[in-house]
Structure 1
Amino acid sequence: TLLFLYVTVATVIGYKHQSDPTVNTTDAACSGVGILGIAWAFGGMIFVLVYCTAGVSGGHINPAVTFGLFLARKVSLIRALLYMAA
C-alpha cells in the first residue's frame, strides 16, 4: 500500500504542479500527464503490485481485501493475520 500511495500521490502532485497557472510553461504540447496519465498511474501500480505479490499472497495488497475474504471464510484466521501483518 505504501508503494502504491507513493507513486500515485507523486503523480497527482506532479500534475497539480504542471497545471498550476502561476508556473510559467513555455511548451504547451508537453504540459504534464493529465487526468488520463493519473488513471494509468493508478491502474499500472495496482497491476504491478498484484503481479509481484500474486505468488506469495494471491495478490492481497490491501488488508481490507484479506479481511473480507476472512469474513467470507475463504482465508483462515492465521493466514489472514499473517497477510495483514506483512
Structure 2
Amino acid sequence: MKQLKEELQSESFWRALTAEFLGTAVFVFSSVGCALPWAGNSPSTLQIALGFGLGVTTVSVFTQGVSGGQLNPAVSFALFLSLRISPLRAVLYMAMQGLGAITACALLYALTPQDIRGELGLNKVSEQP
C-alpha cells in the first residue's frame, strides 16, 4: 500500500501519464490524418505506411525517456504481465492511451471538412461486388 501511495504522489508518474496521453493523441492524429484523401485522391499504401511509421517513431523518441514510449494498450498490458510495470501504472497508462486516441479522433473529426473526413480511414468490408 505504501508503494501505491508513493507512486500516486510521484511527479514522474503524472508526467508519464501525460506523456502517454499526449503521445498517443499526436500519433493517432497524425496517422489517421495522413490516411485521409486531402488532395482529392486517396493516399497510396506507401504514403500511409510512411505516415504511420514516421509518426510512431517520432512520438516514441519523444516519450521514451518519460514513460517508456508505449503508446499502445497491448504493449502496456504485456509489460504488466511481464512484471515490468505496476498494475496501477498499467491500468492508468491504458486509460490515458485510450483517452488520447479518442481525443485525437474527435479533434480530427472536428477540424476536417466532411468531404475529406468521410469515415476517418475506417477499415471495413467493401460493399461492392
Among 76, 89, 94, the residue aligned to 1:66: 76
Q: Deviations over 1:4-44 (max 9, x none)?
A: 2221222211268324xxxxxxxxxxxxx522111110100
Indicate the larger mover: 8-17 or 34-43: 8-17
- Structure showing greater Rg: 1
RMSD of aligned C-alpha atoms? 2.2
Q: Distance in 1 between matches of 2:94 and 2:35?
A: 27
Match of residue 76 from structure 1: 86
Deviating 4+ runs (over 6 angstroms): none
Q: Give the aligned length.
A: 73
Q: Distance in 2 between matches of 1:65 and 1:16?
A: 34
Q: Which runs of 5+ in 2 are unaligned?
A: 1-23, 97-129
Question: C-alpha displacement at 1:66, in angstroms?
Answer: 0.8
TM-score normalised according to structure 1 size: 0.67
Instruction: Give 1:30-45 correspondences, 5 Å limit.
Output: 33-45=43-55
Change (3 A) 1:16 1:35: farther
Q: Deviations over 1:43-83 (max 9, x none)?
A: 00110111111011111111221111101212122332343
Among 57, 63, 68, the residue aligned to 2:67: 57
Q: Which has the higher contact order (CA 8 A, sep 6+)?
A: 2
TM-score normalised according to structure 2 size: 0.48
Identical columns (%)? 41
